[in-house]
Structure 1
Amino acid sequence: MEKSKEKVSLNRDLGLWSALSLVIGTIIGVGIFVRQAAVINDAGSAKAALLAWLAGGLLTLAAGLTIAEVASQIPSTGGLYAYMEEMYNKFWGFLSGWVQIIVYGPAMIAALGSYLSVLVSDFFHIPAIWNIPIALGTVFLVGILNIFPNRYGASFAIITTICKLVPVIAIIVFGLFFGHADALSQSVKGLHTTAGGFGVAMLGTLFAFDGWILVANLGGEVKNPQKTLPQAISIGIIAVLGIYLLVSYGVLKSIGAQKVHDLGTAAIPYIAQSDFGVIGGKILSIGIIISIVGCMNGKIMTFPRIMYAMAEEKQLPFSKQLAYLNQKTRTPIVSIIAVLFIASMMICFVNADRLSELCIFTIYCFYVMAFIGIFLLRKRNPSTKRAFSVPLFPFTPIVAILGSLFVIISEIFSDPIGVICSLAIVALGIPVYYYEVIHKNK
């Protein structure tokens, strides 16, 4: 057993296009299709809404560029978990990984599966009683795909990313060239008592950009990760920022801010059907379904790598099994199954979307620590030649830190109970750490 384990390692064959597709595909889920009205409602005007998308994208870009330098110096499987362990210690690394593999990752997969099942049921007119089986079946099928060599999951990411961009491009092109509404000067009437303000609007866009860091979990499977990971993260975020701005402007140009407010989450489906007819609405629905499946694939491909990396360090119960790599596929099959099992339980028994929201607070706390870590790495290794250096240092990481602190403070004020629950999830990992890492290694 030990002999075969020494021979098997993760397959380092993911290139720039695969990594880039994972960044774009994991970020663009359903948010861009359903959050247009929410951002405009909070911002109060079309111009402010576009500025909110821009500000959220620039903050995300600052975060991505900062992590890109960290990734170029720590190109390890596990992403944020590996960075926290290297920059601080095993304790902080463990807690960041614990939150991601036990709750955050599975909850995001489960929430995507649940939302997808509703769309599929509506599209094919299937009774709602089948929603849970559809969600479980989708998670299961995407999970099977990722048990095969990672090139299959990567190829699927490329295909779904291309497919999901088709309806997005259609909305952009039609809005830019055929829309007649005044896209920039409109304000939304009657929102002075309910609008959350520019800060809340920007917070909503930050959540729509989330997922950019997950490709870093595949550090041990990316070709030349010191260069490829920074390129994929930075180019991917810039591409998504451009897409989000163009979609928002295209929507505003098509029907205007007031109509977006009136329609709510139905704004983009309304545009698709009014501009392209019933067929257009169907194509948009298919595009959103593909978008969610692609986003799910990225998360199923990346989160189990954190579990595998932690198991490799013997930090989890059943670490020997969770660290198993299949000799033929060279994928962490047991870790994939474990994450999918947790996600499946969440689909059946809890509100997975709410669970993923609960972890936002602690995830952004770890983000802040990771961004501060770039200063620690530069201080520890002043003469090290870096494959990638964050531009405009130290301004860029400071912007990333301030952006994350904005999310943290907003969560404390808007959802104090959720913050307490989030901290409780972290606290549950502390006895596991002391038993698995400290006690067993005495």
Structure 2
Amino acid sequence: MAENQKLEAKYGLFTAISMVVGQVIGSGIFFKVDDVLLSTQGNILAGLIGFVVVGISVVFGAISMANYAELLPKDGGILNYVNYRFGENAGYFVGWMYLSLFYPVLTAVLFTVSGIYIAHLCAEFMHFEPTSLHFLLIGFVNLLIFFVFNIFRPRSSGIFQQLTTVLKVLPLILIASMGILSLVKGDVEEQNTFAYAARNVAENQTLLMLIAASFIPISFAFDGWYIATQISGEIKNSRKNLPKALIIGTLAVMVIYISYYMGIVFGMSGDEIIRLKDTYITEFSRKIFADSGALIMQLFIIVSVLGTSNGLLLAMIRVPYQFAGLPKAKQFLKLNVVDTKTKMPVNSAFLGLGLVIFYLLAYYFTSTEKFFTEQNFDLSAIRSYSFTW
């Protein structure tokens, strides 16, 4: 093992872009349109403008982050940016938060979510009632598989990230294309058009207030793009490629989200989406492709969650290594050591794995114990960044 050795630059521009796009587009967008329309009281025009405004804001945020990525292309990502901009103390405290809470909780929640979707899919064919224990065990197995994958085949993990990003984008593009094609053909019902929404704002409402109300659920759907900075030191020609990835990735997400939203609202009324809640995407798929469409959509959502989980784990196992590189950090457990065979910070990875397992168990315990459920305690509330739901 080699101490203070830099991680090998092994990821290209496309992997970096897939990290940006893949960490934003989890399963969240599939279940956010109903939340957006609920906040706008069913006004689809307010939701559209909300997506445009938030999307542009995120792109400008990425442009700002890209300046730091160009200035500080080394390992550490945001930890180095905070250290540079706000000082060593700020970088140290943010590093502790990332190491002990933010990344391990998010990773644990995402792998549990993967267990939820897989268990429910299996239950349709095996006829059993999924429980929290099923979710935990399936999530734990997924975690171990992806951990081994990331340690011994880090390049393959990058390829998997690219593949899942492409797969999760495909249904969004398909839905967007079908909705926009319906508009071009004139098959969209009048109450599903933006012109109708503009004319039918209730007397006690204003379009501006409805737009503002949409910002919160839309912002959650856009979060996660900055996680790509955690592999900044492993991106080839990081000074140029990471800024490109941040800007191209967020622009792509904005266009995909807006197009997907239009595709949905052109095919279903706002009132119907609100009534169906999170099941709207299943019913939309069933309406187009019958029952097989609902099943295919479930598979796409599982792939989407697994891709996002892999991206989070990819970042998580590097956070202790990056934290150890901060000026104020104390050296312990040899977290800054890179294994000469795998070219990975193995000690850092195992500490990250241990923390994720701890929060997996904590999430299961707090989700099943009466004391916590009666208090509406939700450990996963930290995932408000959440591409997850």
State the secondary structure of the residue aligned to 2:74: coil
- Look up the match of 1:86: 84
Distance 1:313 1:253 in 2: 50
Looking at structure 2, the residues matched to 80 and 61 of structure 1 have their Cα atoms a distance apart, in angstroms, of 17
Residue 214 to residue 49, structure 1, CA distance change in 2 (3 Å): same
CA–CA separation in structure 2 for the residues paired with 1:186 and 1:110? 44
Find 1:275's aligned residue among 275, 284, 288: 288
Per-residue deviation at 1:97?
1.5
Q: State the 1:274 CA deviation.
A: 1.1
Shift of 1:284: 0.4
Contact 1:10 1:221 in 2 (8 A): yes
User: Can you give the 5+ residue segments of structure 1 that lack an aligned partner in the other structure?
Assistant: 362-442
CA gap of 1:58–1:356, structure 2 versus 1, over 3 A, is farther
- How many residue pairs match? The answer is 357
Distance 2:173 2:151 in 1: 32
Aligned to 2:104, which of 99, 106, 109?
A: 106
TM-score w.r.t. the length of structure 2 is 0.85
In the alignment, does 2:157 pair up with 1:144? Answer: no
Matching residue within 181, 188, 199 for 1:180: 188
Residue 120 (structure 1) aligns with: 118
- Cα distance per residue 1:76-133 (max 9 Å; x no partner): 2121111111222211001112112211111111121222211111111053241110
How far apart, in 2, do the equivalents of 1:192 and 1:295 lie?
41
**Aligned counterpart, 2:305:** 292
The CA deviation at 1:197 is 4.1
Distance 2:380 2:295 in 1: 29
- Which residue identity is paired with 1:96? V
Q: Which whole-Å CA distance do the structure 2 matches of 1:209 and 1:43 have between them?
A: 18
State the SS of the aligned residue for 1:53. Answer: helix
Provide the rounded CA distance (Å) in 1 between the counterparts of 2:249 and 2:122: 33
2:258 to 222, 240, 245: 245
The equivalent residue for 1:231 is 244
Q: What is the TM-score normalised by the length of structure 1?
A: 0.75
Residue 312 of structure 1 and its aligned partner are, at CA, apart by: 3.0
Instruction: Name the residue aligned to 1:161.
Output: 165
Task: Give the C-alpha shift of residue 16 in structure 1.
Answer: 0.5
* 1:219 aligns to 2:235 (yes or no): no
Q: What SS is found at the alignment partner of 1:17?
A: helix
Where does residue 12 of structure 2 map in the other structure? 15
> What's the offset of the Cα at 1:282?
0.8
Secondary structure at the aligned position of 2:338 is classed as: coil
Structure 2 residue runs without a partner (length 5+): 368-376
Distance in structure 1 (CA, Å) of the matches to 2:122 and 2:383: 33
Q: State the shift of 1:358 in Å.
A: 4.4
After TM superposition, give the deviation of residue 318 of structure 1 in Å: 6.1
CA contact (8 A) 1:71 1:229 kept: yes
CA deviation after TM superposition for structure 1 residue 32, in Å: 0.6
Amino acid of the residue matched to residue 18 of structure 1? T
1:194-214 Cα offsets, whole Å, 9 max, x none, are: x99433321211111111111
Match for residue 317 of structure 2 among 276, 284, 304: 304
Q: Secondary structure at the match of 2:337?
A: coil
Aligned to 1:328: 341
User: Is contact 1:14-1:222 (8 Å) kept?
Assistant: yes
Query: What SS does structure 2 have at the residue aligned with 1:124?
Result: helix
Specify the alignment match of 2:93 in structure 1.
95
Give the fraction of aligned pairs with identical amino acids, expressed as a percent: 24
Give 3-state SS (helix, strand or coil) of 1:328's partner. coil
Which residue identity does 2:8 align to in structure 1?
Answer: N
Q: Which residue of structure 1 lines up, in the alignment, with residue 213 of structure 2?
A: 200
Q: How much has 1:139 moved relative to structure 2? A: 1.6
Whether the 8 Å CA contact 2:99–2:323 is kept in 1: the answer is no
Q: Is the 8 A contact 1:305 1:335 kept in 2?
A: yes
Given residue 111 of structure 1, which amino acid in structure 2 is its aligned partner? V
2:350 maps to 1:337: yes
User: CA 1:103 to 1:186, structure 2 compared with 1: closer, same or farther past 3 Å?
Assistant: farther
- Distance in 2 of aligned mates of 1:304 and 1:166: 29
Deviation track 1:204-236 (CA, whole Å, cap 9, x = no partner) reads 111111111111111111111111011000000
267-276 or 147-156, larger mean C-alpha shift: 147-156
Q: Distance in 2 between matches of 1:33 and 1:124?
A: 20
Q: Deviations over 1:345-374 (max 9, x none)?
A: 22222359944544879xxxxxxxxxxxxx
Q: Offset of 1:315 from its aligned partner?
A: 5.2
Q: Displacement, 1:173?
A: 2.0
Code of the aligned partner of 1:27: V
Q: Secondary structure of 1:213's partner?
A: helix
Specify the alignment match of 1:131 in structure 2.
135
Q: Is the 8 A contact 1:149 1:331 kept in 2?
A: no
CA–CA separation in structure 2 for the residues paired with 1:189 and 1:277: 34
Which stretch shows the higher mean deviation, 244-253 or 210-219? Answer: 210-219
Counterpart residue number, 2:30: 33
State the partner residue of 1:366. Answer: none
Hey, what's the Cα distance between the residues in 1 that align with 2:299 and 2:248? Answer: 26
Residues in 1 aligned to 2:159 and 2:282: alpha-carbon distance in whole angstroms: 29
